[in-house]
Amino acid sequence: MISIEDIFKNVPITNEIIVIFVSALILSLVFKKFRTKRMSQKDKNKKGAEYEKYVSSHYKNKGYTIEERGGFQDGGIDLIGYKDNKILLIQCKNWNPDNSFKISEINVKEFYGACNFYMDNNDMKNKEILCIYVIPNKKLLNSNAISLFKKNYKNCRYEIIDFKK
């Protein structure tokens, strides 16, 4: 069996070799930390589904009947709430607020478009409809998304529902 000493016994140790070795060590530690912090897609899906259930309970406690639609085939609407003449079209996002990826105006427009598509394809006459983007923390929104919500507050807004597991 060959040992590390055997491999390197004839290699002169120079400053360049030390720099390369230390750089490689630092990079391996950085990538190891990155790999351990990243959530698997399965864990992200589970986290999202748990948040949707939590938000569903929140609205049920407010007297709404909730249709849970979340998942990849939800058409951009995770939950639909019904109460009297009011319908809530809800998108839930439980992203990590410390992540550099934020909800942008594009995400908000996509959601609002999904809501309008749903309204156009379902009987929504004489109903009070509100589109709600539910998040656990305002830090998930970038400034353009916040501005867009302010402009369209009557029809589409965000609501903060902190996720307490």
pLDDT value of position 95: 86
pLDDT at 23 over 70: no
Residue-wise pLDDT for 114-141, tens only, equals 999 999 999 887 889 999 999 999 999 9
Any domain includes 165? no
> Are 95 and 153 in a shared domain?
yes
The predicted model scores a pTM of: 0.73
Q: Find the mean pLDDT for residues 11-34.
A: 61
Q: Find the mean pLDDT for residues 51-55.
A: 95
Any domain includes 119? yes
Q: Is 75 left (phi over 0), alpha (psi -120 to 50) or beta?
A: left
pLDDT value of position 36: 47
> Are 33 and 75 in a shared domain?
no
As given in the structure block, the two tokens for residue 135 are: 């998040």
Residue-wise pLDDT for 73-90, tens only, equals 778 899 999 999 999 999
Q: Which domain holds residue 112?
A: 41-160
